[in-house]
Amino acid sequence: MPITSITIENFKGIGDAVTIPIRPITLLFGKNSSGKSTVLQALRYMSERCDDLKFEQKLPELEQKFQEQRPLSEAYQLLKAAHRLRDRVDPEVLKSIQKDTIKNISNDDLSAFDSRRGKALKAIQKVADLFESKDDWQSQAEVEAWERGEIYPGRFTDLGDFPSLVHRHELDRKIRIRLEFDIEPEKWKSLNDILTLAMKSESVTNPKSAWIEMVIGWDEQQKVIYLDSYKYALNGAEWICLTPPNRPMPDEAEWNYEERFIDLNIYSKKFGLSKWTKDLSWLLGTDNSEGKKFGLSEKKLKNIRSWLEKCVFEDRATNILKKLHDIVLGELDGMRHLGPVRDVPLRNQDSISTSEADVSRWSIGLEAWDVLLGKPQLLKKTNRYMKKLALGYSIRRSEDDEHEILLYDETHKIYHHPLDVGFGISQVIPVVVGALDDMSQIFAVEQPELHVHPAVQVALGDVFIDGIKNSNRTMLIETHSEHLLLRLLRRVRETTRRNRHQTTELEQTYHELTPNDLSVVYVRPTPAGVKFTPLTVTDKGDFDAPWPEGFFEERDSEWY
């Protein structure tokens, strides 16, 4: 589900909300300190905060805090277990299990259910947190940094805490970040399977787009962040809004558990009961003849229905939200952010990479070298581009140390350590690896052109095109390189010409790029905040409007 836009409000230099269009290849241009990197950092911040979210079942907590509810909780779990066994148990045996379960629920349990439940929820409210708590083994400094809203530190991605991130350091503001996605047809089915559990028949089906939004505030008294709201929308209509129990509120006494899931007249009131209550039709139906056979009064039946509906609502709401969270945020999983200056592996230093990509090592470029050690096909593909970039080197694993990467001088036929070649070579290799390795859906890179020749900058355009080929990957590129942009615009022109005329010219290439694949955004600071100007790319490989403040006007001024 590729990202199509990001909306940012009150984050660093961005005050009023701005929406930046995202395409498979998105270029952010602008002068130094204009706010280009803010977009990459906001996406990273959203990714890290979403990873911290937890959606857990509350019934076990209710049991622990109010032991009187245990009979009802056990009955609910037994009914669910019976449903899971419905294909392997004789229907009459199944009905007998259900009847015995219902008979064992006392009137006292049901009559006290609402008051006990209310007290339990109030108790949970005081201690619950929708951000994952940190593990006991972590240092106190790490826990405090997490509570202040810091993301996983890296030299170029350590963004500081909330007070340093919020616009103009005004702590009464709230950071808001929204991501919009296109939903591919193959994802419709899994989403529809979820939606049919909860939504009315006339509501959203076959959703084509979705957005997810997170709003984070600052509790000045506690000196910690809190999740102000967390929302989902499908086809442009807000579907679910989560406001966590630890959110600062004017009157905590008015807080209500169900209000975490706002009813927008979209939900089915049964909220997913239909799938397994077919086995309980004798209980939930209008005819109580079956219940009367074993002494189930109409009053008790009504109370049982009310209890069961509330349990299922909480159960289903939590599960649906967890599934939506996993589906929609799959794009952010494993996001790689490569900073503006890349480190080079030290001599005789083994890789320290783990099985999963190390976020902090990616930010300084070292993880790219580690990844090559474990992926022979990626190493081969990277070397093909090393040749196309005309760098004069290929990448080889050391014959003496399997954990060491060396550079082979193709001209003089000798090996060099990465520290012994031109700085531009070691800077561009992590860019190529990050673009070509499809293990991450989003590759965000700052200044890929750093320390490399203009001819290499041009050729990097083809590397990024290859990175999105036959996949739903997104390249977010903060750059000053006119050469990179010119190559991408050229590929748009060539693709248009081939599609129109079916040319067989020598210029024909596999590096196809359409205007819909490319977003070019000009960024500039203003007294009111950062301004983003999207520049529409035409099928002629040009822009439909003049470049703001002149298109790389330095060339003309120096020429004359």
- pLDDT tens readout for residues 305-332: 777 777 766 666 666 677 777 776 777 7
Highest mean pLDDT pick, 191-195, 198-202, 252-256: 191-195
Distances (CA, A) of 531 to 14, 29, 120, 164, 480: 8, 12, 48, 20, 17
Task: Report the pLDDT value the prediction gives residue 423, as an integer from 0 to 100.
Answer: 87
Q: Which of 248, 318, 322, 303 is nearest to 62 (CA)?
A: 318
Highest mean pLDDT pick, 52-56, 173-177, 205-209, 343-347: 173-177
Eight-state DSSP code of residue 536: P
Q: How far apart are CA 144 and CA 346, in angstroms?
A: 32
Q: How far apart are CA 459 and CA 448, in angstroms?
A: 11
**Architecture of the domain whose range is 342-559:** 3-Layer(aba) Sandwich (3.40)
Strands 442-446, 336-338: pairing kind: parallel
Taking residues 148-159, what's their average pLDDT? Answer: 63
Q: How far apart are CA 435 and CA 453, in angstroms?
A: 19
Task: Report the pLDDT value the prediction gives residue 488, as an integer from 0 to 100.
Answer: 94
Distances (CA, A) of 394 to 118, 380, 383, 391, 424: 67, 9, 6, 8, 14
Residue 559 has pLDDT above 60, yes or no: no
Residue 19 has pLDDT above 90, yes or no: yes
Task: Report the pLDDT value the prediction gives residue 35, as an integer from 0 to 100.
Answer: 81
End-to-end CA distance of the chain: 48
In this prediction, what percent of the chain has a pLDDT beyond 70? 66
Please name the helix (run of DSSP H) or strand (run of DSSP E) that holds residue 521, with its range, or none.
strand 518-526
Residue 347 has pLDDT above 50, yes or no: yes
- Kindly state the tokens that stand for 154: 């890296």
Biggest distance spanned by C-alpha atoms of the chain? 100
Task: Report the pLDDT value the prediction gives residue 128, as an integer from 0 to 100.
Answer: 56
Chain segment 251-305, per-residue pLDDT in tens: 444 444 444 444 434 444 444 454 555 556 556 555 556 666 666 777 777 777 7
Q: How far apart are CA 524 and CA 530, in angstroms?
A: 6
- The DSSP string of 366-387 is HHHHHHHHH-HHHHHHHHHHHH
Eight-state DSSP code of residue 131: B
Q: How far apart are CA 331 and CA 87, in angstroms?
A: 36
Answer with the residue of higher pLDDT: 435 or 327.
Answer: 435
Highest mean pLDDT pick, 56-70, 196-210, 225-239, 528-542: 528-542
Please name the helix (run of DSSP H) or strand (run of DSSP E) that holds residue 446, with its range, or none.
strand 442-446
Sheet of 529-535: strand order equals 336-338, 442-446, 474-478, 25-30, 518-526, 529-535
Answer with the residue of higher pLDDT: 229 or 519.
Answer: 519
Q: Which pairs count as long-range contacts for 251-256, CB under 8 Å and 24+ apart, including other chains?
A: 252/125, 255/125
Task: Report the pLDDT value the prediction gives residue 316, as an integer from 0 to 100.
Answer: 67
Confidence of residue 515 (pLDDT cuts 50, 70, 90): very high
Q: Which of 139, 133, 324, 348 is nearest to 241 (CA)?
A: 324
For the chain, the structural domain boundaries read 70-106+272-315, 342-559
Task: Report the pLDDT value the prediction gives residue 256, as an integer from 0 to 100.
Answer: 43
| Helix/strand/coil for 113 | helix
Cβ atoms within 10 Å, residue 504: 8
Chain segment 201-247, per-residue pLDDT in tens: 455 667 788 888 999 999 888 888 888 888 888 788 777 777 765 56
Taking residues 435-464, what's their average pLDDT? Answer: 91
Answer with the residue of higher pLDDT: 93 or 200.
Answer: 93
Stated pTM of the model: 0.78
Task: Report the pLDDT value the prediction gives residue 248, as an integer from 0 to 100.
Answer: 63
Task: Report the pLDDT value the prediction gives residue 270, as an integer from 0 to 100.
Answer: 46
Taking residues 371-390, what's their average pLDDT? Answer: 90
Within its chain, how far is the Cα of 500 from the centroid?
38
Residue 503 has pLDDT above 70, yes or no: no
Answer with the residue of higher pLDDT: 18 or 226.
Answer: 18
- Kindly state the tokens that stand for 289: 């003849």
- The DSSP string of 330-356 is GGGTT-EEE-SS---PPTT------SS
Task: Report the pLDDT value the prediction gives residue 203, as an integer from 0 to 100.
Answer: 56
Eight-state DSSP code of residue 288: -
Return mean pLDDT, the chain.
76
Which residues lie closer than 8 Å to 321 by C-beta, 6 or more apart?
55, 240, 242, 261
Which residues lie closer than 8 Å to 274 by C-beta, 6 or more apart?
268
Q: Which of 543, 519, 521 is nearest to 530 (CA)?
A: 521
* Look-up of token digits 């660093």: 12
Task: Report the pLDDT value the prediction gives residue 490, as an integer from 0 to 100.
Answer: 93
Identify whether the C-beta of residue 242 lies closer than 8 Å to the C-beta of residue 261: yes
Q: Which of 385, 543, 525, 507 is nearest to 27 (CA)?
A: 543
Taking residues 430-451, what's their average pLDDT? Answer: 91
Task: Report the pLDDT value the prediction gives residue 190, as an integer from 0 to 100.
Answer: 66
Taking residues 377-388, what's their average pLDDT? Answer: 91
Q: How far apart are CA 71 and CA 62, in angstroms?
A: 12
Chain segment 481-500, per-residue pLDDT in tens: 999 999 999 999 999 888 87
Q: How far apart are CA 201 and CA 345, in angstroms?
A: 58
Task: Report the pLDDT value the prediction gives residue 17, as an integer from 0 to 100.
Answer: 93
Q: How far apart are CA 402 and CA 527, in angstroms?
A: 54
Q: How far apart are CA 520 and CA 21, in angstroms?
A: 9
Q: At what angle do helices 376-388 and 366-374 cross, to 10 degrees?
A: 120
Chain segment 106-136, per-residue pLDDT in tens: 777 777 777 766 666 666 555 556 666 666 5
